[in-house]
Structure 1
Amino acid sequence: MWINSPETPKRIIPVVMASPENCIVPFVYCFLLCLIRATAQTCSDNRVTTQCSDDLLYVIRSTHLNGLVLDATNQTQLSVQHFTGFGPQLWKLQRGSRPDLFYIVNEYRGKVLDYNRPVSWSLLVADRDNSLHQQWVLDSSGKITNAVLRKNVDIWGANFTPGAIVGLWDDGDHPNQKFVLLEKS
């Protein structure tokens, strides 16, 4: 789940966030997170809590070895591309309507991750309408799941080449549905 290369941003944050005030991370990440974030605290239930911030920028990177990142250059059809660090590849997390939900906001576009309703399950960025359709659950296995459909962000066809289309698909334990959030420093 941890990927590092010369082009990777400096700090790596696992895709685990379960409350708006705190990011809940399993105990196995304790040591790594303490190195990453000076604000880490150990809770009585053996989980580590770090503060989430609406102003942090992230790159959403596939855990597959090619390391492609979610890209909103085409705002009506998201894809994965090689990391460039430009705005269409930078994302913010904003608290959703429940403690376990987040809006995923593209820094460049100022729009939120959404899917093409009712036409298909392809991903796009759209103006925020405060609906559950635009809110996401991020879990410790690296899955990003839509709050309404319960389908995961998926690199369609397990096509790990630049330009591959990203959409929603049924839950599966496949590398094309696993991502990490890399904090852009």
Structure 2
Amino acid sequence: KVLTALKEAGLEERTIVIFTSDHGYHLGEHDFWAKVSLHDESARVPLIIAVPGKQPAVCHSLTELLDLYPSISKLCGLPVQARLQGKDISGMLDDPSVEVRDAAFSVNGRGFLLRSHRWAYIQYGRDGSRGAELFDMESDPHQYTNLVDSEDHAEVVAEFRSAMDAKMKVVLTNDLGLEY
């Protein structure tokens, strides 16, 4: 309806439409209700972008909502400030196979998520001192089996802990002075 209204108003060739959300929603999964976790039901959101002159496509790259600002800036021909932590995802609009990130980062309270295509690693507390979870999203897409203490997955956990430490250093060096 939105796209039809834009077309009828003669605005479809100069309007970018983005449909997304700031969070998902639990409906009882994992005994959670509302937007209270870093599990996929709460952390994963839709991202649909309609840009004049671009063909519809499905992209599977991981993105973060903070990627929207530099992407919209570029699409509108505006300068993209170097200090932004987001990445320009507009390349996906021309080539759906473009991979923007190898992992997406999300925060909820004192919990932190790194989500790759294969894995979801959640750590509680900046240093993981309040616990952690690791889920194999291929064999356990509903995140029922926590593998963080599995000896078979110790190397994966170590890689994610290292990646989370590196990500936290980047996030904590923002110009807003925010503390997590």
TM-score (norm: length of structure 2): 0.25
- Ranked by relative contact order (alpha carbons within 8 Å, sequence separation 6 or more), the top structure is 1
Larger radius of gyration: 2
TM-score (norm: length of structure 1): 0.24
If each structure's strand is expressed as a fraction of its own residues, which one has the higher value? 1
If each structure's helix is expressed as a fraction of its own residues, which one has the higher value? 2
